[in-house]
Structure 1
Amino acid sequence: MEDFTYEDYGDSNATYGNYNYSYDNTTLPVVQHQSKCLKEGLCVILLVVSVVICLLGFCGNALVIWISGFKMKKTVNTTWYLSLAISDFVFCVFFPFTITDMVMEDWIFGRFMCKFASSVMFLNMFSSIFLLVIISVDRCMSVMFPVWSQNHRTVKKASIVVVIAWVLAIALSLPSMIFRDIVTYMDRTLCFNKYNSDQHSHKTVAFTRFLAGFIAPLIIIIICYSVIILKLRTSRMTKSSKPFKVMTALVAAFFLCWLPYHVFILLELNQHNHNHNSDILKIGLQVGTSVAAANSFLNPVLYVFMGNDFKQKFKSSVLSKMENAMADEGRTLSRYLSRSSSVDNRASTHI
């Protein structure tokens, strides 16, 4: 999703995608637009990476949805992972619109899809991080209050929490629907962010996404993980760390993938005040957006390669690996609940 700012374009201030570029339309030659993407090395690399992300993400998350939704017993644990997979799958379904725009450098899908396809990226960001926060809090509560958790954690309640998370994610994704627009100029149609109704709109949207979709979740997850680590150490449960590593990898992957994007978005806001190089910002945001998109296919990969021991991964099928990745976590923590509550065979099956 590119972002160019077209200043002095009529009476509007607009950003296309996420890169901030200034142009005066009186100096641009009126010539027929020709895409230059396939002639630029960086664009070709990002294009290839995007196609790979789209294909792997689509297939991998479809597989997770099939396994966790139809092949495994419905539990609180599978409810979390199914929701994560749906979020990433939806993103991958609409990612081809961005890839096509990247190749053609011309938006051909109309105003509605400009608004909708763009908002899907942020819907994926917010829904993913909210679900990761929910899982982290759930793990923390299960470790701190095992008896209460085994008596109150149900699939129905988990489903309600997931719905609430999706509603919040949709609400925070609405700015993309509101500010996204199209314009045709020089035989080229652009899908861009039009922040001309309020000079502070761009900063408000960017900081809201950064705080609600990155900083606040990071703080909550760090607190939860600190509590879990301290509790497990005092309970001598560090040997059963495989499920904890899977969840840690999912969280780390999200924050590492989205960090470059947020960094360059914040630099873009102060571009004029600090004279940041426009070319560096453009390249940084292009790469940052692609790295953020990569998170959509990393989750199923982590399920596969961290769900079983390295020596066993070639001996079992991909389906078995992914199922074990999700099931192992429930079996390990259920044993912990059983010990903590001193109730034989009454611990929750999945945490």
Structure 2
Amino acid sequence: MAESPTAEQLESVLDTTVQASATWSLDPPTEAPGVFLHYWMDILSLVIALVGLVGNSIVLWLLGFRTQRSPFSVYILNLAAADALFLGSYFGLSIWEIVGDLNHFFLLLLELCLLGLPYCVGLSLLAAISTERCLSVLFPLWYRCHRPKRMSVTLCTFLWALQGLFWGLLVALYFLNKDQFYNYFYSFLPFVQFTWFSLLTCVLGVSCLTLVLRVQCSSQRRRPPRLYLLVLLSVLVFLLCGLPLGVFYAVRFFSSFYLIPFGLSSLLACVSSSANPFIYFFLGSQWRRRGREPLRVVLQRALGEEQVGGDGAKDTSHPNIVGRLS
């Protein structure tokens, strides 16, 4: 049996995940262009995280207290919560690293869990949203008649509980038995997370391709529904901006090779988590209308394509289907 890794080895591995934010200083560094670039990437990441936190908080307020919920809005509400938690954790931990005085190794472990939990939940929710949209496109009749009534709430609860149990078990294992924690960190954690990450990434890729073909076919006859565009844009933004952070962790846990710098991957992840509110409000805006509309109305319009049938036209034969599914 292989010898268990030491705490120093584990800290060396974890330290690479936050090396950009850990090298901050209050004055701009001037020793090397690379350090200077890292400094400004970190500042830009904090600004984007703060803006995205405000945007996702607005979505949470509107969907949680100001609008009537539908099956799709439940997914968007939980996705906004995951993005807000990721951005808030990133912003808080980055500030804490600058001004705080905490055990370095514990801070690295805390950062890994607080960022990993909402990241994995967001990825899982996007996979669930895109898969459900594909089912509604490929099997519209089955989707209308046989979709479970509380599937959105049940699935979101399951995904939060699954990831919370996983990362909570990791923290508990660290405090209860550190030697056992080292073994699981080097063997069990990377394997499980890499498998889950790879599976959901494949699901996102297939569903994204399906939605692209569906939107392309719809655009030849009529303007594609906003809901398909919303899901497609959210998935594309994640694949372009959110995926590099997962790739960084996956590659770093299995080798010492740096496929992408952590500072750049965290910056792109902040962009991915901050972009969704702007996608919602952009798609829900009526540019031809004069005057400003309430954000609640704009958001409802962006999410208001629940009655779209499989051929892209509004479903008029089942006008109350949204109420029955919710």
The residue that corresponds to 1:239 in the other structure is 223
The residue that corresponds to 1:28 in the other structure is none
TM-score by length of 1: 0.70
- How much is the aligned-residue C-alpha RMSD, in angstroms? 4.1
The residue that corresponds to 1:126 in the other structure is 120
The residue that corresponds to 2:152 in the other structure is 158
CA distance in structure 2 between the aligned counterparts of 1:149 and 1:332, rounded to whole angstroms? 11
**Residues 126 and 172 in structure 1, CA contact (< 8 A), matched pair in contact too:** no
Change in Cα spacing, 1:154 to 1:258, as seen in structure 2 (3 Å) is same
Task: Give the letter aligned to residue 155 of structure 2.
Answer: V
Answering whether residue 85 of structure 2 is matched by residue 90 of structure 1, we say: yes
Aligned partner of 1:61 among 34, 45, 56:
56
Answering whether residue 145 of structure 2 is matched by residue 145 of structure 1, we say: no
Answering whether residue 298 of structure 2 is matched by residue 289 of structure 1, we say: no
**Residues 55 and 277 in structure 2, CA contact (< 8 A), matched pair in contact too:** yes
5+ residue gaps, structure 2 = 30-35
Task: Give the letter aligned to residue 182 of structure 2.
Answer: S
CA distance in structure 2 between the aligned counterparts of 1:237 and 1:165, rounded to whole angstroms? 37
1:42-66 C-alpha deviation (Å, 9 max, x unpaired)? 3431332233233212211111111
**Residues 53 and 293 in structure 1, CA contact (< 8 A), matched pair in contact too:** yes
The residue that corresponds to 2:12 in the other structure is 15
CA distance in structure 2 between the aligned counterparts of 1:338 and 1:117, rounded to whole angstroms? 45
**Superposed, which structure 2 residues align to 1:1-351 within 5 Å?**
12-15=9-12, 17=14, 19=16, 36=25, 38-40=27-29, 41-104=36-99, 107-108=101-102, 115-153=109-147, 156-174=150-168, 177=171, 197-198=182-183, 201-202=185-186, 204-213=188-197, 215-228=198-211, 233=217, 239-269=223-253, 281=258, 284-308=261-285, 310-311=287-288, 315-327=292-304, 329-333=305-309, 336=312, 343=317, 345=319, 347-348=321-322
CA distance in structure 2 between the aligned counterparts of 1:287 and 1:194, rounded to whole angstroms? 33
Following superposition, the deviation at residue 209 of structure 1 comes to: 2.8
**Residues 74 and 155 in structure 1, CA contact (< 8 A), matched pair in contact too:** no
**Residues 126 and 169 in structure 1, CA contact (< 8 A), matched pair in contact too:** yes
Task: Give the letter aligned to residue 90 of structure 1.
Answer: L
The residue that corresponds to 1:31 in the other structure is none
**Residues 129 and 217 in structure 1, CA contact (< 8 A), matched pair in contact too:** yes
5+ residue gaps, structure 1 = 1-7, 23-33, 182-192
Following superposition, the deviation at residue 112 of structure 1 comes to: 7.3
CA distance in structure 1 between the aligned counterparts of 2:61 and 2:17, rounded to whole angstroms? 40
1:230-282 C-alpha deviation (Å, 9 max, x unpaired)? 5673997663243212111111122222333234445535655xxx5xxxx49
By relative contact order (CA 8 Å, sep 6+), the higher-ranking structure is: 2
The residue that corresponds to 1:4 in the other structure is none
Change in Cα spacing, 1:113 to 1:321, as seen in structure 2 (3 Å) is farther
1:117-151 C-alpha deviation (Å, 9 max, x unpaired)? 54121111111111111112211222233333223
**Residues 18 and 285 in structure 1, CA contact (< 8 A), matched pair in contact too:** no
1:21-61 C-alpha deviation (Å, 9 max, x unpaired)? 99xxxxxxxxxxx9636332234313322332332122111
Determine which structure has more spread, i.e. the larger CA radius of gyration: 1
Structure with the higher fraction of residues in strand conformation: 1
**Residues 75 and 155 in structure 1, CA contact (< 8 A), matched pair in contact too:** no
Task: Give the letter aligned to residue 203 of structure 2.
Answer: I
CA distance in structure 1 between the aligned counterparts of 2:200 and 2:291, rounded to whole angstroms? 36
The residue that corresponds to 1:185 in the other structure is none
Structure with the higher fraction of residues in helix conformation: 2
TM-score by length of 2: 0.75
**Residues 7 and 182 in structure 2, CA contact (< 8 A), matched pair in contact too:** no
1:144-167 C-alpha deviation (Å, 9 max, x unpaired)? 333332234466332111111112
CA distance in structure 2 between the aligned counterparts of 1:155 and 1:109, rounded to whole angstroms? 47
Following superposition, the deviation at residue 178 of structure 1 comes to: 5.5
1:149-190 C-alpha deviation (Å, 9 max, x unpaired)? 223446633211111111222234347526879xxxxxxxxx
Change in Cα spacing, 1:310 to 1:216, as seen in structure 2 (3 Å) is farther
Change in Cα spacing, 1:129 to 1:12, as seen in structure 2 (3 Å) is closer
